[in-house]
A and B are shown apart, each in its own frame.
Chain A
């Protein structure tokens, strides 16, 4: 009788614990990292900073390989999210500087006489 009760208690405890584990989802850091990586892959970061995106992608894969909701998952996802955002910011800067650089020759005719109208 005592043994049965113990086994029953153990079964309930195991069920509660496993239900708790099943309910535990991925960390908010991983959700954020996945989302930002998606926009980086479809945006300018992939074009201008492919190496940085690749490093972030590796950390995202490491996060995905960890147990859901674990400290390590959150850690790697955090790194990935920051690295992706760094790549995005660097790509934006590259675009701004590129536009500015391309825009400089346009400024040259300003010093020369500019016709008020190109056509009558």
Chain B
């Protein structure tokens, strides 16, 4: 059976370290950031962010950042790609929050007008003057 000398072991370790460091330099694609950004963008679309102007604007930023991230992944700039995808995720989350806020506001306004209608039909149109 072949045994390795101390020098061979150290050469092997140096080679392994070099391979490992070159792999880190090239970097793997930021899978987590990519998945999170894609999921947030999809969820935002499903929520109908396009119907709220401010939310739609942030959705556009998110999609732009996703495209930037994908382009950076293709060119091997993984750290920059990850940052772009994190920004995309943050914009998609903001788009959803703005959409939900607008929906809650619309629902509140609708229920308020419904209450007002009921009030008028029950106590008459001059209720405001009387109260």
A contacts, CB < 8 Å to B? 75, 78-79, 82-83, 85-86, 89-90, 92-93, 96-97, 99-100, 103, 106-107, 110-111, 113-114, 116-118
Contact = CB atoms under 8 A, between A and B. Distances in A.
B119 A110 contact: yes
B115 A82 contact: no
Contacts of B39: none
Given A83-B93, A107-B115, 13 more contacts: A79-B86, A79-B90, A83-B90, A89-B100, A92-B101, A93-B104, A97-B104, A103-B111, A103-B112, A103-B115, A114-B119, A114-B127, A117-B130
Contacts of A96: 101, 104-105, 108
B21 interface: no
Categorize the interface residue count of chain B: 20 to 34
Contacts of B87: 75, 78-79, 82
B94 interface: yes
Given A110-B118, A111-B118, A116 B97 contact: no
Contact of A116 (B86, B91, B98, B130): B130
Contacts of B127: 114, 116
A81 B100 CA distance: 19
User: Sorted from nearest, which 9 A-B pairs have the closest CB atoms?
Assistant: A89-B97, A82-B90, A96-B104, A86-B97, A89-B101, A93-B101, A93-B104, A86-B94, A110-B118
A113 B118 CA distance: 12
A82 B93 contact: yes
Contact of A90 (B83, B97, B111): B97
Given A117-B130, A117-B131, A110 B104 contact: no
B59 to A, nearest CB: 12
Nearest to A115: B123
5 contacts: A89-B100, A92-B104, A100-B107, A106-B115, A111-B122
- Which of A79, A82, A92: most chain B Cβ within 10 A? A82
A35 B98 CA distance: 19
Contacts of B107: 100
A96 B105 CA distance: 7
